[in-house]
Amino acid sequence: MAVKVLIPPPLRPHAGGQAAAEFAAKNVEEALGQLTSEFAGLKRHLFTEEGRLRSFVNVYVNGEDIRYLAQEKTPTKDGDTINIIPSIAGGAPENGAKGSRAARVGMTDQAV
């Protein structure tokens, strides 16, 4: 048993395509720390240079937002699930080069 971290589709390319990973961790910080040391490419997507969780990435433990628990010190135990939920903007993704390209930055789902 361990803590399960579910990786959202936009971040999977930075996690070797994996949808989930499991770690022995006693809080969110430890779990995400292990996740980003295993997949270094994930780090800058989850944390700022100062090491703070990015404001467009929400983290939930068993469905509860850690911002309303103990932030990254939120304790975890075996069998818990951590969800990482980044903001996504897609709705009517376009493949063409029209519209404002700059507007679709971030985790939109268009090919460029």
Partner 1 sequence: MATKVQTPAGTKAAEGLTNEEILRYSRHLIMPEVGMEGQLKLKNAKVLLVGTGGLGAPLGLYLAAAGVGKLGLVDFDVVDFTNLQRQVTFGSSDVGKPKSEAARARLSNLNPDIQVQAFETKLTSENALELFKDFDIIVDGTDNFPTRYLVNDACVLLGKPNVYGSIFRFEGQVTIFGMPGGPCYRCLYPEPPPPGLVPSCAEGGVLGVLPGIVGSIQAMETIKLVLGSGRNLTGRLLLFDALEMGFREFKLRKNPKCPMCGEHRTIDKLIDYYEFCGVRGEEAPAPDLKVPEMTPRELKARLDRGEDLFILDVREPHEYQICNLRGHLIPLGELPRRVHELDSSREIVAHCRSGKRSAEAVDFLRKAGFRKIVNLKGGILAWSDEVDASVPKY
Binding footprint of partner 1 on the chain (CB under 8 A): 8-11, 13-14, 44-45, 48-49, 54-56, 58, 60, 63-65, 67-68, 83, 85-112
Tokens of 35: 């996740």
Task: Compute the CA torsion angle 57, 63, 69, 72 (nearest 10 deg).
Answer: -40
Would you say 2 or 107 has its CB closer to partner 1? 107
Q: Which are the contacts of 8, defined by CB distance < 8 A and separation ≥ 6?
A: 83, 84, 85, 86
Minimum CB separation from partner 1 for residue 34, in Å?
A: 21
Minimum CB separation from partner 1 for residue 32, in Å?
A: 16
Would you say 11 or 24 has its CB closer to partner 1? 11
